[in-house]
Structure 1
Amino acid sequence: MSFKSLCLLVAVPFILWGCTDSNEVPSDNPTVKTLHVDVPTIGGAIFSGEITAEKLIEDHGFLISHDSTFIQYKSILISNGAPTRSGIFESELPTGLEKDKVYFFKAFIVSKGLITYGATKSFLSNGSLPPILESISPKKGYIGSTVHLTGKNLKWNSYSYTRVFLGEVEVNPIASTDSTLTIVIPAYVKSEKFPIKVSVFDKESESISFELYTPEIHTIEPYEATYRDIVTVKGLHFDTIPERNQLFMGDVSATVLSSTRTEIKFVVSDEFRTDRAKIRLQAQLQDVESGDYFSLKLPLIESFSSCTESRAEFEIIGNNFHPIAPFNHVFFGSTEAEVISGDSKKLMVTVPYGPFPDAKTKISVKITETASTSPNEICIQDPWVMITDQLPFIYYGGIGTFTTENRAYVFAGEKLWEYNPDNTEWTSGELPFDLLYGNGSTTYNGEKAYVYTADYHNNFWEYNPSTDKWIQKAEFPGHIRSGAAMFSIGNKVYLGIGRYSSGISQSTPLHDFYRYDPNNNQWVEIPSLVTDEYTGRGRMSSFVIDGNAYLAGGALNTGHEQAWRFNGSTETWQSIAPIPEVVSYTSSFVYKGKGYITTVGGWATSGLECYQYNPQSDSWDMFYPIGTVGRYNGFAFTLKGVPYVGGGYQPFVDINVSSQMLQFMKD
């Protein structure tokens, strides 16, 4: 059965309540009776009534309410219109009824503008008929798509009793009738596939499946780009709202500028840190990945100055650099430089201190895993170039060094280390004696090396570099001492001055000097050197030029600038021009007929100073500073005509100079 018109009486014309029961109507007027109601167990209700004189009736139907007084806003009106015949009529109410509620109903007719009611009766409701969902269109779509649902019993007037569920998510229809509902797929659905069902008065329809289209990535254009470039992804089924396309370069999120169903434009993220990655897209609640890789353009180094100095500012011109300067890692050889400023086409860096083994190196710029390296080398113009910061030992105030024609030797860490300049390798050998920190001394007479250990016994040793053999020699006949000066002239060895060692006051200076003759293994005392009657000197540096030895440094007090020359022929001492500054903890070397005092500590020194002595003019000059980081208590030697300085200590900077070695490169 069906009904012509069903409505909730919110504003029914007053005439429906302005009339009498059928008993008051004249006998020649139409009549109406309320018969009964059928209440199916599945819900709904079928009302029966009876009328006469149908031709005089303008409308007929039923009035249903929770209240026996039929209050307007609680009443349901079933309007069937003008009847076509007299007798029994029926009206069906499939929805709008709540389960287990008592309802009152009565039939009515409208004639000549007046309403006449039948008797009031009641029934217990089984609720409304369940909604029937017959079809949805389309069955596949997008977030934001409009979907039409068709069926029966889908709506009850203006009450908000119709509910639509997409899986667990409820949405409100944007349009509705008893047989159609229109919804929009919201962004907050839980999955890409879900059932759609309708609930009316808490009775649910069967569900029909709906699914979102799966996005497809077909191409990436261009497949290679650099930071902040715009890249286009082409394919199908993207979201037209840019924010609903979550695009990733590998694991790095990228900003989406615009999107259509077939195209997404995004910006290469500053956070991207790999050479290449697949493009991953989260859209339509699905995660898809490109088949091809997107690649980041490698940095391109185009030009830079051919030479520079360490610690200098240095400009690199190129392309595809990271636009955020600190994200660029610039290397000179294997050492990273500090990036000061820059953009995608220019970088300004501070040249690192080293190491630069050949005083030249290549430049690399690295943003991701792969670095771009310059085809040409850059020369380092420092007078002193750090050639390594990975010495295999730590040197700080050891007993010194000596050199042969092709090798240099350094005493450090209870071992004798041999340096080969041809392959820059170090090898070590064991010592047959213990080294007492800072107390011993060493020299080389052109054939053998000699070591004074400053120990009480067995304190003088000879080393043959050709055989790598040590031989114990006659003990030093003077007092045990620390900080002794030691040098060789011809094949003779000279040892003297310094300070008393353990057991005797450290403040007592020693002035005596001795000569050792390897030919007879004997010591002979020679004229003393009185440097200072009361304090003396400790660890004076010495160098030998043209058969004469020169001693300087070793200051223990202010005013200790004096220096001396020892005449190897007459074995006499003579004062020479004082060194320009009070210095101690020094080392020395000879280069091109001049002597050098370096790795200095002192009251007014930085540790960078290198003092040059010219025996021809008996004068001191400042030589090129030793690098850019000061040090004292280091070592120095000249090998194959090239000076080297290394080791030492610098307390004021966070740089381990003890494992560094510098080479003079200026001449």
Structure 2
Amino acid sequence: MSKQALMVLFAAVIVFYSCAKDGEDEVSGGLENRDPEVETLDAIRRDENRLITLSGKANSNNNNIDDHGFDFARDSLFSKDKQSSNLGELTSDGTYQSPVEELLQDNGRYYFRAFIAYQNQQKYGSVKSFIYNNGLAPSIDSVSSRYGHLGDTLTFYGKQFNDNISNIKVSFSSYYSEVLTASDSVLTCVIPNFTQGKKPIIALENSNGISNFSDFELYTPQIETVDPIEAVAGDTITLSGNHFDTRLSGNRLSVGGVPSEIVDAERTTLKFVVPQELASQSESIKLMAQNQEITYSENLRLAAPEINSFSPETATFGDQIKITGNNFARLASANKVYFGEVEAKVVNAEKDELIVIVPDDLEMSTELLKIEAQFQVDISETPFNLTPPQISFVPNEFYANSELNIEGAYFHPDPNKNLILFEETEARIISGDRNSLTVTAPWGPYPRRKTKVKIKLLDLEVEYDIDLTLLDKWIMVSDSLPFYYYRSLNNAAVAQGSVFIIARDKDNSSGGYFLWKLTFDDLTWEKSALPFDLKWSGKLVSNDQNLYVYTATAENEFWEYDPLTEIWTKKGSFIGNRRDYPAQFSINEDIYIGIGSDFEPYTNIAYTDFYKYIPGTDSWVQISDLPLDEWGGKHRTETANFSVGGIGYITGGARNTGDYDSWSFNPATDTWTQIADFPYAASYTVGFALNGSGYVTGTGYSGKESWRYDISTNSWIQSDDIGRPRGGHFSFVLNGRAYVGGSGWPVGSGADAAQFELFEYVPD
């Protein structure tokens, strides 16, 4: 590099350095414009040597402080006994101290201030003072009152307190109080709202020590009256007395141990709300105030509920009932309302009114209302009445076992709690609501062939005012046969205008047989004993004058019964072979018995022979055999038999043969004639004659068909169904009407109601 270049570079460096220096001077000049600051802090006592040290604080703000220290005097103008402590040049910012070396007078007040000196001027901090007590601890001589309340202002008198509030503390059993004013001999403070005990220990503390004072206590709260002393949960109760806390939170009140809400607090009155969760009707009142718990001399009592009235007095299920009165619980669930012994739902509750729902499960239509509230009970003087159900429409004609719609009002909302009766027999409820019910009409009995319809609801019974007419031809007239009849001495018999049947007792289906006589007026039966033994497969037959029984026993006995004398007489024995379930009919007072089978041998014996019994001579005569098929068709038992116009008829009885041939017998020619075949092979059927025609009812175990034999056309015509399926039943004709009944399985092995029923048939 040339010498000339070096000179240029050196000059540039000098210029740069000069500019930087000028910038620094400008910044420094800006800081020097701020004045220094000084603050007077406190006078601090050192207990170990009773020396007072003054403290202050200074900040030079980058100024030169020539001197700093304190002025000290007996007056605030620093004109009396002024002294200064000069500490010299301030070397660092911050707090500084200086002891007072002058001999201070006891209980003398002294003033001091911090200062700094700079640039031929002085700057001072605030003036403060202290009272020198020569190191004695504070002493409390007395208080403004020996009694007080939490939160009251209390004045203490004594000495060596301190006139600086920040240097003195007052506590009540370790809870500090707010100090309001303080001097060396007088101090006021607020009794803290939180302290301990009736007699709190008061401690006054300053830098010289602590003074305790114990001659003070809190007022004891007093409850003079409670109004009202009898109330309802949720009521507001007023306590009158004295020395309560004026703050809500300063009082704690409980009834029976249950905290109560205090809604208003004054020195002489408290108002609280009776809690809902009380455990009994009478509970103690306890108050915690002024750090003391007191118990009132009398228990708070819950008032007894009172029912004055309710409306409406007559209503139906689900309706709302308004109960008016007094002292009901305001909480709905705290009231229990009963219709009799059935609890109702309370939907709204006020002290003087309850709204309840008429329960669906009432037990009676008339019930007193009972209210349980406040652990007490009241019962209405007037009973509640359930609105009776009404039937406004039922079809005038119907079929048994068919569906009907019953219209009306005030039915039970649960359909199955309505009882619908047809002539005292319950109908099956299918569906329904408050105004309509769909039912299945019962089979019966309908002894009048008409029926009244009733609805029973609880103990209420309402009858529809119009008779309903049945459209059925076969109508059940009884469901209470007192005997068990199934294939028993096949068929019933009529003699001397009375109906007879031989069967076992309903209550002993495996016992012996009895003769049963029907009392037609009321469809009851009279039982009498038999003087002979008989087999289940014997026969009962009548010639309209007397009854005759073939016993089917080994002796082939034959008995006659005179309904007028009620005497049984043994007659000449049956002359054919012993047999089971033979056919029978009567023509012109003579009795005809024949065919059947002997079931006793291992291989059954089928018979085709037939016999006539002549009552006038007590003699038997064999007549022509029934010309049955030689290939299995001979096995005929339990046939359907009837006689019309002096001719006997036989059909059915095809046990496992499949035959459906039918026959007639003419006694004048002693001949059998095959007539029109029955529509199908049938067994367990019975026959009867009515209005010049023959009838066959029932097919097997489950048939309910009825067939009429038209003699003039030699044809079988299906007639009206017999109502309920049945087989092995009985039939008879009386007063121009036909009857069937019995059948079913043996009692105790699945028997149904059909075996105890009696159906009546009135032809067109």
TM range (shorter): 0.7 to 0.9
Q: Contact between 1:513 and 1:528, CA under 8 Å: does it hold in 2?
A: yes
Find the aligned partners of 2:187 and 2:543 in 1 and give their Cα distance: 142
Aligned to 1:191: 280
**Cα 1:430–1:310, aligned 2, differ >3 Å: closer, same or farther?**
same
Select the residue among 163, 171, 174 that pairs with 2:260.
171
The amino acid that maps onto 1:527 is S
Which blocks of at least 5 consecutive residues in structure 2 are unaligned? Answer: 1-41, 53-105, 110-129, 505-512
Secondary structure of the residue that 2:362 maps to in structure 1? coil
Q: How far does residue 272 in structure 1 lie from its aligned partner after superposition?
A: 2.3
Q: Contact between 2:478 and 2:523, CA under 8 Å: does it hold in 1?
A: no
Aligned to 2:171: 64
Aligned to 1:412: 503
Aligned to 1:286: 376
Aligned to 1:9: none
Q: Which moved more, 1:181-190 or 1:314-323?
A: 181-190
The amino acid that maps onto 2:518 is Y
* 2:671 is equivalent to residue 581 of structure 1: no
Aligned to 2:560: 462
Q: Which moved more, 1:87-96 or 1:524-533?
A: 87-96
Q: Contact between 2:476 and 2:759, CA under 8 Å: does it hold in 1?
A: yes
Q: Which moved more, 1:384-393 or 1:649-658?
A: 649-658
Q: Which moved more, 1:371-380 or 1:126-135?
A: 126-135
Find the aligned partners of 1:354 and 1:126 in 2 and give their Cα distance: 98
**Cα 1:126–1:634, aligned 2, differ >3 Å: closer, same or farther?**
farther
Aligned to 1:370: 460
* 2:589 is equivalent to residue 491 of structure 1: yes
Count of residue pairs the alignment pairs up: 627
Q: Contact between 1:355 and 1:386, CA under 8 Å: does it hold in 2?
A: yes
Q: Which moved more, 1:55-64 or 1:364-373?
A: 55-64
* 2:434 is equivalent to residue 344 of structure 1: yes
Q: How far does residue 616 in structure 1 lie from its aligned partner after superposition?
A: 1.3
Which blocks of at least 5 consecutive residues in structure 1 are unaligned? Answer: 1-16, 67-73, 109-115
The amino acid that maps onto 1:327 is K
Q: Which moved more, 1:447-456 or 1:133-142?
A: 133-142
Find the aligned partners of 2:247 and 2:327 in 1 and give their Cα distance: 37
Secondary structure of the residue that 1:197 maps to in structure 2? strand
The amino acid that maps onto 2:571 is K
**Structure possessing the higher relative contact order (Cα contacts under 8 Å, 6 or more residues apart):** 1
The amino acid that maps onto 1:350 is T
Aligned to 2:625: 528
Aligned to 2:697: 598
Aligned to 1:111: none
Find the aligned partners of 1:18 and 1:97 in 2 and give their Cα distance: 35
After superposition, give the CA deviation of every residue in 1:488-534 in whole Å (9 maximum; x if it has no partner). Answer: 211222211111242x3442211111122222222222211132433
Find the aligned partners of 1:283 and 1:18 in 2 and give their Cα distance: 72
Aligned to 2:176: 76
Q: Which moved more, 1:232-241 or 1:539-548?
A: 232-241
Q: CA RMSD in A?
A: 4.0
Q: Contact between 2:412 and 2:418, CA under 8 Å: does it hold in 1?
A: yes
Aligned to 1:403: 494
Q: How far does residue 244 in structure 1 lie from its aligned partner after superposition?
A: 4.0
* 2:371 is equivalent to residue 276 of structure 1: no
The amino acid that maps onto 1:451 is V
After superposition, give the CA deviation of every residue in 1:304-330 in whole Å (9 maximum; x if it has no partner). Answer: 122211111112222211123222111
The amino acid that maps onto 2:577 is H
Q: Contact between 1:146 and 1:184, CA under 8 Å: does it hold in 2?
A: yes
Select the residue among 442, 449, 453 that pairs with 2:540.
442
Q: Contact between 1:256 and 1:267, CA under 8 Å: does it hold in 2?
A: yes
Query: Percent identity, aligned pairs only?
Result: 29
Q: Contact between 1:460 and 1:475, CA under 8 Å: does it hold in 2?
A: yes
* 2:736 is equivalent to residue 637 of structure 1: no
Secondary structure of the residue that 1:601 maps to in structure 2? coil
Find the aligned partners of 1:465 and 1:231 in 2 and give their Cα distance: 67
Q: Contact between 2:193 and 2:250, CA under 8 Å: does it hold in 1?
A: no
Find the aligned partners of 1:584 and 1:541 in 2 and give their Cα distance: 8
Q: How far does residue 346 in structure 1 lie from its aligned partner after superposition?
A: 1.7
Q: How far does residue 237 in structure 1 lie from its aligned partner after superposition?
A: 3.2
Find the aligned partners of 1:316 and 1:95 in 2 and give their Cα distance: 77
Aligned to 1:620: 716
After superposition, give the CA deviation of every residue in 1:281-314 in whole Å (9 maximum; x if it has no partner). Answer: 2334432221111100111122212221111111
Q: Which moved more, 1:230-239 or 1:550-559?
A: 230-239
Q: Which moved more, 1:440-449 or 1:354-363?
A: 440-449
Find the aligned partners of 2:253 and 2:662 in 1 and give their Cα distance: 103
**Cα 1:285–1:121, aligned 2, differ >3 Å: closer, same or farther?**
same
Aligned to 2:482: 392
* 2:570 is equivalent to residue 472 of structure 1: yes
Q: How far does residue 172 in structure 1 lie from its aligned partner after superposition?
A: 5.4
Aligned to 1:646: 741
Q: How far does residue 193 in structure 1 lie from its aligned partner after superposition?
A: 2.8
Secondary structure of the residue that 1:657 maps to in structure 2? helix
Aligned to 1:7: none
Find the aligned partners of 2:469 and 2:664 in 1 and give their Cα distance: 40
Q: Contact between 2:141 and 2:157, CA under 8 Å: does it hold in 1?
A: no
After TM superposition, the structure 1 = structure 2 runs for residues 106-125 of structure 1, keeping only pairs within 5 Å, are 106-107=203-204, 116=206, 119-121=209-211
Aligned to 1:657: 754
Find the aligned partners of 1:53 and 1:512 in 2 and give their Cα distance: 150
TM-score normalised by L of structure 2: 0.74
After superposition, give the CA deviation of every residue in 1:159-200 in whole Å (9 maximum; x if it has no partner). Answer: x88542212323354565776554322210123332211235
Find the aligned partners of 2:628 and 2:218 in 1 and give their Cα distance: 121
**Cα 1:88–1:305, aligned 2, differ >3 Å: closer, same or farther?**
closer
After TM superposition, the structure 1 = structure 2 runs for residues 323-338 of structure 1, keeping only pairs within 5 Å, are 323-338=413-428
Q: How far does residue 243 in structure 1 lie from its aligned partner after superposition?
A: 4.3
Secondary structure of the residue that 1:382 maps to in structure 2? coil
Secondary structure of the residue that 1:632 maps to in structure 2? coil
The amino acid that maps onto 2:730 is F
Q: Contact between 1:480 and 1:501, CA under 8 Å: does it hold in 2?
A: no
**Cα 1:359–1:512, aligned 2, differ >3 Å: closer, same or farther?**
same
**Cα 1:266–1:484, aligned 2, differ >3 Å: closer, same or farther?**
same
Q: How far does residue 395 in structure 1 lie from its aligned partner after superposition?
A: 0.8
Find the aligned partners of 1:469 and 1:351 in 2 and give their Cα distance: 44
Aligned to 1:609: 705
TM-score normalised by L of structure 1: 0.84
The amino acid that maps onto 2:720 is Y
The amino acid that maps onto 1:289 is I
Q: Which moved more, 1:256-265 or 1:346-355?
A: 256-265
The amino acid that maps onto 2:574 is F
Find the aligned partners of 2:208 and 2:270 in 1 and give their Cα distance: 36
After superposition, give the CA deviation of every residue in 1:116-164 in whole Å (9 maximum; x if it has no partner). Answer: 5663256999997754334444434332223344555655989x88542
Find the aligned partners of 2:291 and 2:501 in 1 and give their Cα distance: 95
Aligned to 2:37: none
The amino acid that maps onto 1:637 is F
Find the aligned partners of 1:523 and 1:460 in 2 and give their Cα distance: 11
* 2:108 is equivalent to residue 27 of structure 1: yes
Q: How far does residue 75 in structure 1 lie from its aligned partner after superposition?
A: 3.0
After superposition, give the CA deviation of every residue in 1:377-408 in whole Å (9 maximum; x if it has no partner). Answer: 21222111111110111111111211124211
The amino acid that maps onto 1:513 is F
Find the aligned partners of 1:212 and 1:422 in 2 and give their Cα distance: 68
Find the aligned partners of 1:249 and 1:18 in 2 and give their Cα distance: 86
**Of the two, which has the highest radius of gyration?**
2
The amino acid that maps onto 1:133 is I
Aligned to 2:11: none
